[in-house]
Amino acid sequence: MDYKNLLTNTEAGIRTITISRPEKLNALNRETLSEINQAVTSALANSQVYGLIITGAGEKAFVAGADISEFSNYAAQQGKELAKEGHANVFDLIANSPKPIIAAINGFALGGGLELALACHIRYASENAKLGLPEVSLGLIPGYGGTQRLPQLVGKGKAFEIILSANMVDSKESQNIGLVNKVVPLSDLLAECKTLLHTIISRSPNAISAAITAINAAIDPQKDGFETEIEQFSKCFGHADFKEGVTAFLEKRKANFR
Ligand code: COA
């Protein structure tokens, strides 16, 4: 499918979704958010896609935030709808994806852009990346999950510092505080993400999905994480992947889950 603001490419089971509005530093307008919803939904439904990478077009920005020009005259109710729709259609969709999703942060990841990266399961960044939640400088707070997912990742103290100051964090510091998993030269970013994702998708897809569900439950106040783990663990025993994984181990060969 063709999108106006996205490029998609599938190679060896990995679908790369590139947000492409470079003239606006890939800012997320409504149309782009709707296209991300379609692109992720379609990748999740495609049995030939095993994992996803989300990145930004160009060498300057991953995503420089929600498109400020679109909500400049919003009132409270419109703001509420914007955030609710975004959570359901994009950010929670990504966070709860049963297929692994890596954010390849290739430059500015600000506001909704950092929130997009925070919703992904794993974040790799290029050396030139700058991350931040500048909303308080606009008279707003993060509205796409930033106030919740950032403290879960870096702790409450650092989250306060980042959100209240609106200062950007460079790639090195982002790695030091656990905001990104790894920092690599920009030219290696996609290749490094693909290498990791290839390893992940060579494991049991059923177990990967169960692990995502269990880890997400650890930070969901409505779920009992330990109960979720027990439930997901036990379900794995009834799946063909368990048979294949154990048989392969006993036969001293590599498991083939596909
Ligand atoms: N929404 C809408 N447009 C945006 C945008 C956003 N979040 N971020 C960047 N743009 C647009 C700029 O308006 C500019 O468009 P123009 O050429 O039509 O004027 C274009 O992208 C390039 O940005 P510019 O500001 O000229 O680049 P820069 O290198 O001087 O600065 C940033 C880069 C990222 C520091 C700066 O663009 C910025 O602060 N953006 C907003 C970040 C933000 O507050 N995000 C949170 C939103 S809730």
Q: Could you report the per-residue pLDDT of 150-197, keeping only the tens digit for each? A: 999 999 999 999 999 999 999 999 999 999 999 999 999 999 999 999
pLDDT classification of 1: cutoffs 50, 70, 90: confident
* Active-site residue set: 115, 135
Atom of ligand 1 nearest to the CA of 140: 48
Determine the residue of 24, 131, 141 to mutate for testing ligand 1's pocket, defined as the one with the most ligand atoms within 8 A of the Cβ atom.
24
69 and 32 in contact (C-beta within 8 Å)? no
The two tokens of residue 108 are 């500015």
Q: Is the CB of 68 under 6 A from ligand 1?
A: yes
* DSSP-derived secondary structure letter, 66: B
pLDDT value of position 19: 98
Mean pLDDT rounded to a whole number for the chain? 98
The two tokens of residue 170 are 């460079």
Dihedral angle of Cα 90, 211, 149, 76, to the nearest 10 degrees: 40
Residue closest via CA to ligand 1's atom 45 equals 65
Residue closest via CA to ligand 1's atom 39 equals 64
- The CA distance from 230 to 43, in Å, is 29
> What value does the mean pLDDT take over residues 87-97?
98
Classify burial at 185, counting beta carbons within 10 Å of its beta carbon; exposed 0-12, middle 13-18, buried 19 or more.
exposed
Q: Is the CB of 27 under 6 A from ligand 1?
A: yes
74 and 82 in contact (C-beta within 8 Å)? yes
Q: Could you report the per-residue pLDDT of 52-90, keeping only the tens digit for each? A: 999 999 999 999 999 999 999 999 999 999 999 999 999
Q: Is the CB of 108 under 6 A from ligand 1?
A: yes
Residues 6+ apart with CB under 8 A from 69: 29
* DSSP-derived secondary structure letter, 104: E
C-alpha distance from residue 27 to each of 98, 108, 164, 239, 251 (Å): 26, 10, 22, 42, 51
Residues 6+ apart with CB under 8 A from 222: none
Angle between helices 205-218 and 240-250 (to 10 degrees): 110
Give 25 Cα–ligand 1 centroid separation in angstroms. 6
β-bridge mates for residue 51, sequence order? 14
pTM, full prediction: 0.98
Q: Is the CB of 63 under 6 A from ligand 1?
A: no
Q: Is the CB of 24 under 6 A from ligand 1?
A: yes
The two tokens of residue 191 are 């290749």
The two tokens of residue 78 are 């419109």
pLDDT value of position 206: 98
